[in-house]
Structure 1
Amino acid sequence: MAKKVTLKQIAHEVGLSPASVSLVLNNRPCRISEENRRRIKEVAAREHYIPNQIARSLVTRQSKTLGLIVPNIESRFFSSLAKNLEQRCRAEGYALFITNSDGIPENDVELLNLLVTRGVDGLFLVVSDEVSDNATLLEELSNLPVPCVMVDRVVNEFTCDKVMFDHELGGYMATRYLLQMGHRRIACVVNASKTLTGRKRLLGYLRALRESGLETDLSLVVESEYYISSAYEACTEVLDSDATAVFASSDNIALGLLKRMHEKGKRIPRDYSMVSYDNSAADALFEPALTSIEQNVGELSMHAVGLMMRRLANPAVDPVERVLKPQLVIKESVASAK
């Protein structure tokens, strides 16, 4: 292993003080000649000098690191979000620590503390549970010494920068499309008990039915967490119903339903039409390609990082809440009702 080169060693070789070398390598204003600047950078490059970020942070009071908490890193949507956020943070000169809460609210609090003690300059938070009693989380958020941007899932009771898609509109668009294709018995498999996003998607489903003059049949509303295994179990209720179409409120839910349906000899769209949500995973694993509500992860991460950079530049600015519009991507999983 090569020995780490220090500022003192570079300073000794060029015959200048460590303070002068530090100013040049950190691009700080100084009265050092162009020749000496060139020599310092030449030696630093030759010796593969790596700045000590910990020492630098003691002076600047910035670690140039940010933290991200997601509920399920195995989800294609959240892994794609993490990747996009990391790339955009890196472009802004920040490293991103990515953590996973496993969808457990207590882990949100633990990870907030962990990341703050690691000295991050700010936090991106996708909360585990938006609808239960969030007293502990709210208290923790209220005492955070760094900015927090809530992404995708938000807690209404806490005021901070937030960016999310219009989940109610997404549920409405998915259900309306199935209705337009002639389906009247449409199952909705949704995580409405633990997430506000699920509740909003369910509200969109109900609005589309109501506008079509259909009575709401709650037996067609099936609860499932955003895990393939949970949807696999929930599929029994769909198969036992008289539904001809399904609104699967996440790609993970869609994958669980498809797995169980395939085992039972059911095919999409021959036996059931399906609209999924996220447009992030199913095409790579199943045929036919799923019609889906797309949440553009690049757009979501762009706004999240933009809000964070704005907040870091000026901590006193008013909080912003941005609601983005999803899109219906039509593929091959919906057939006209028979």
Structure 2
Amino acid sequence: MWRRTGSGIVKQCVILDDYQDVALACADWSALRDQVAIRTLNAHIDDEAALAAALRSADIVVAMRERTPFPATLFAALPRLRLLVTSGMRNAAIDLGAARAHGVTVCGTASSLTPPVELTWALILGLARQIVPENRALREGGPWQGGLGRDLAEHRLGLLGVGRIGSAVAQVARAFGMRVSGWSPNLTPERAAAAGVALARSREALFAESDIVSIHLVLAPGTRHLVGAAELARMKPDAFLINTSRAAIVDEAALIAALEQGRLAGAGLDVFAREPLPTDHPYRRLPNVLATPHLGYVTRDNYRTYFTETVEDIRAWLAGAPVRQLTPVPPSRP
């Protein structure tokens, strides 16, 4: 499990899913040099048995958001594991009860809300102004101005969830001159007013009246498949659906059917039921889908925060005083 150096025993740390191979460059890891041997895995390991084999000698594992699930069966297969650090302070892919039962401390880091807000607007603007097809036509010698863009001003943005991220999205919408409505299971008139959002009469009204619906809810039993065939059927045929939150909030089969049948103008998606997205998935070929590979939190500044605080978490744990521990709690209000 450990190797010995002149200064003592060194623990083994594995950094998972470092797709861009930037984890070691985004923070100063030198403070751990004499105590921790670090290796990174740049490719995603989807098979649990293969993952367990890759992590068998690890005392410490660093996970990037929810890219790799940690169910009870994986903890049981990793008896040496003692510290799991995740980026962010919420990770639904980690069975925290199982971690505690197997003696694994789980710590997190800060995470800025700015990157997902900005990506939400990148998807909205990309769809509204047909950025991808117009750019492709320009590069490939296609039609000069092949379509008409969509205005945002005076049109309605419907927010499914008006928490920290939803409120920030609303602020940008108002700068564009949009009308903004919001709904969530716990949204009160007072909270809506504080966010500068009109409280929708009902969830059904939000879908029926909005030109763009953007999802910013926490995934919980009550929000899983909250957006299904009935909700999509209520949307205007020229409306857009944006999801930078969690894939399971939307019934994927229902959304694909609506897009294939032209009952919805388009979808801007950054989250998927399976990641990485299979190469034959319909989202990769549907012309009315603008999709990004779960980039909501993937920015230089956010990564610096993640890995700098990961180093702090490891140092604190080594000193016997772990910080920023995750504990099982009820989902916060969306």
What TM-score comes out, normalization by structure 2 length? 0.43
What TM-score comes out, normalization by structure 1 length? 0.42
**Which of the pair is proportionally richer in helix?**
1
Task: Return the index of the structure with the highest Cα Rg.
Answer: 1
